[in-house]
């Protein structure tokens, strides 16, 4: 009876061992799947980070370009204003010259 109870204990331990091995295998597969998922997410995050960095650079360049355009527009407006002022002076000078010419006749 001692040998039958010890052999049933051994059988129970072997059964428990197999169950634990199966569970360990399942957990290992889950771990590997999680690691693969983590690597994929890390790649995606790096890609998104690079894309964001690129968009930030583009936005900075656009902002700088916009400032440059604003600066050019301001300079053109100032030049136009100056030219309009000189044109008005020239027109006054032309009218005055025509008047003097009429008076001289």
H or E stretch including 59?
helix 2-104
Q: What is the pLDDT of residue 6?
A: 85
pTM check: above 0.85 = no
For residue 1, what pLDDT band results from cuts at 50, 70 and 90? low
pLDDT digits (tens, 9 = 90+) for 2-16: 677 888 899 999 999
What would the mean pLDDT of 77-92 be, rounded to a whole number? 89
Average pLDDT, the chain: 89
């Amino acid at each position: 009876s001692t040998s039958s109870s010890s052999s049933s204990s051994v059988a129970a331990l072997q059964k428990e061992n197999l169950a634990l091995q199966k569970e360990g295998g399942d957990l290992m597969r889950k771990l590997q799947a999680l690691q693969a998922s983590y690597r994929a997410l890390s790649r995606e995050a790096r890609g998104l980070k690079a894309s964001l960095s690129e968009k930030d650079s583009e936005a900075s360049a656009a902002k700088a370009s916009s400032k440059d355009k604003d600066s050019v527009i301001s300079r053109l407006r100032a030049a136009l204003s100056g030219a309009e002022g000189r044109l008005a002076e020239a027109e006054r000078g032309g009218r005055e010259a025509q008047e003097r010419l009429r008076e001289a006749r």
